[in-house]
Amino acid sequence: MLFEIHASKPTGESAVFMYDNMTNTLTNQADPTITYQYDVLESQEGWSESLPFDKHTPLRKSKQITNLKIQLGLSCNYSCSYCSQKFVERAPETNKRQIDQFLAKLDVLELSSQQGLNIEFWGGEPFVYWKTMKPLAEAIRDKYKHWENPPRFHIITNGSLLTEEICDWLSMMNFNVGISHDGPGQKVRGPDPFDDPETKRVILGFYRAMRRLGKPISFNCMINRDNQSRKQVYEWFVQLTGDPNVQIGEGAFIDAYDEDGIRSSLQTLNEHFDYRQRTFGEIYAASGNIAFQGTIQKVQNFIHGILNHSEAKYVGQRCGMDDERTIAVDLRGNIVTCQNVSAVHTSHNGQPHLGGNLDDYDNVALRSSTHWSKRLECSGCPVLHLCRGSCMYTDGKYWEVTCNNAYSDNLPLFALAVHSITGYIPTLIKADGLPPERQDVFGTVLGLEDRILYTPGKVVSEKNMVVEGVEVYGKSRLVTEA
Residue 469: per-residue pLDDT: 86
The residues with which 218 forms a beta bridge, in sequence order, are 178
Q: Which amino acid is at 65?
A: I
Q: Measure the CA–CA gap between 362 and 163, rounded to whole angstroms.
A: 42
Taking only Cα atoms into account, the Rg of the chain, rounded to an integer number of angstroms, comes to 23
Lowest-pLDDT range of 30-44, 117-131, 218-232 = 30-44
Phi, psi dihedrals of residue 401, rounded to the nearest 5°:
-65, -45
Lowest-pLDDT range of 120-134, 282-296, 412-426 = 282-296
pLDDT tens digits for range 82-93: 899 988 999 999
The residues with which 214 forms a beta bridge, in sequence order, are none
Q: What is the pTM of this model?
A: 0.94
Residue 38: per-residue pLDDT: 96
Residue 480: per-residue pLDDT: 60
3-state DSSP assignment of residue 458: strand
pLDDT at 482 over 50: no
Residue 297: per-residue pLDDT: 93
Nearest to 220 by CA among 254, 182, 190, 256: 182
> With pLDDT > 90 as the criterion, what percentage of the chain qualifies?
87
CA 153 remoteness from chain centre? 18
- CATH superfamily for domain 67-273+311-369+456-479: Aldolase class I (3.20.20.70)
Categorize the per-residue pLDDT at 481 as very low, low, confident or very high, splitting at 50, 70 and 90.
Answer: low
3-state DSSP assignment of residue 421: helix
For residue 165, the tally of other CB atoms under 10 A from its CB is 11
Distances (CA, A) of 312 to 31, 48, 51, 327, 443: 24, 11, 12, 23, 28
Q: Measure the CA–CA gap between 270 and 274, rounded to whole angstroms.
A: 6
Alpha helices in 50-184 (DSSP H): 99-105, 130-143, 164-172
